[in-house]
Amino acid sequence: MGKADDPDNTIIARLREKAGRLERLEGELVALEREREDLLDSKNRLARKLEKYHRSLEEWEWFFEHSVQMLCIAGLDGYFRRVNAAFANTLGYSREELLARPFVDFVHPDDLSKTMRELEGLGTGRDSISFENRYLAKNGSWRWIAWYCPAITDATTKLFAIARDITEDRRKEAEILYKASHDSLTGLYNRAAFEESLESAIAQQGRNQKGEVVLYLVDIDGFKSVNDRHGHMAGDHLLQVISNRFRQIQRAGEMVARVGGDEFAFLVDGTPEPSGGYPVEPLAERIIAQVSQPVALSTGDVTVGCSIGISMFPGTAGDLCTLMTQADKAMYAVKYSGKNGFQKYTPSLD
């Protein structure tokens, strides 16, 4: 019996072994199928993510290239990595020309130090917001550029900046400021600008206790007669000619303004002579000489004169109003005494 059973037992043992192997293989196959499905699912998810990232990158590339704003990518080494068409077109260079040189080569010399400080700040975590400097365009002009750029972080190694050409804005601002401070007829400073400068000069002299602030008030003698006889256009031309002459005799440290219809003023930051006092005569004589020269009109030449009143701070006046009043008194003293001359204020005029 035992011998007869041996082959059967062997067969059973082998079947049991194969059955176990089969079940293990079936289990492994199921696991592999699941893993394959997971891999296919992961592959599909990865493909979708890649498609999404590629689409986002394409959108960024399209925006970068077609944006009407000036866009650039730069490194802290001072070179542009990329610039878009708007950036290159605004300055008139090719992209290759902009990328070939350090960008500080394009910066105005007066703006170079502050530009370097701004660049250092970007490297240490300080964002750049509305930073303005001037860039040299290829045609030789200077363009005012306003910058917006996030600072370098642990997640970024390059600078991504948006820039805006504000040259026209600056020009309009300068034009507004010019009109606010200059006389429209003569181009000289107006009364408001003159009084502001006079107030500033007095305050500075009060702090430094050096020199003197000298005021020359100039009234044109005979201007009304020219207006009445030759017309207002002739009168305007006369004022323009005299104003141009005043510009020619104006020296460093002197300011000239039109402060009334036919009234002008010179402001001088005077340095007293060693013997004491500021010599007021040289400028007064230059003014009279210029005003006294004939002025050509369409109806013929005319000649006018001027009366000049002079006052000084702190020589005779202690504040702006007193300085103006004293110069006015001295000027009228000249008019009453025959005109076409100058008078320095003295207490006797009171």
Mean residue pLDDT across the chain: 89
CA 292 to chain centre: 42
Q: What is the CATH number of the domain that holds 272?
A: 3.30.70.270
Report the distance separating Cα 90 and Cα 69, nearest Å: 10
Q: Which helix (H) or strand (E) holds 254?
A: strand 254-258
DSSP H helices, 67-138, are 85-91, 95-100, 112-123
Percentage of residues of the chain with pLDDT beyond 70: 95
Output the pLDDT for position 1. 46
Residue bearing the bigger pLDDT, 49 or 79: 79
Report the distance separating Cα 187 and Cα 84, nearest Å: 42
pLDDT digits (tens, 9 = 90+) for 279-300: 899 999 999 999 999 999 988 8
- Is 13 part of any domain? no
Same domain, 209 and 312: yes
Q: Which domain holds residue 86?
A: 70-171
Choose the final residue of a domain: 171, 200, 231. 171
Output the pLDDT for position 212. 87
Report the distance separating Cα 7 and Cα 320, nearest Å: 132
Choose the final residue of a domain: 171, 198, 222. 171
pLDDT digits (tens, 9 = 90+) for 185-225: 999 999 999 999 999 999 988 787 777 899 999 999 999 99
Q: What is the DSSP string of 270-335?
A: E---TTSS---HHHHHHHHHHHHS-EEETTEEE--EEEEEEEEETTT-SSHHHHHHHHHHHHHHHH
Which of 84, 50, 42, 48 has its CA nearest to residue 67? 84
The pTM of this model reads 0.69
- Exposure of 305 by Cβ count < 10 A (0-12 exposed, 13-18 middle, 19+ buried)? middle
Helix/strand/coil for 42 = helix
Same domain, 203 and 138: no
| Contact criterion met (CB below 8 Å) for 198 and 320 | yes
Choose the final residue of a domain: 151, 171, 191. 171
Same domain, 251 and 298: yes
When pLDDT is averaged across residues 89-116 and rounded to a whole number, the result is 96
Count of domains observed in the chain: 2
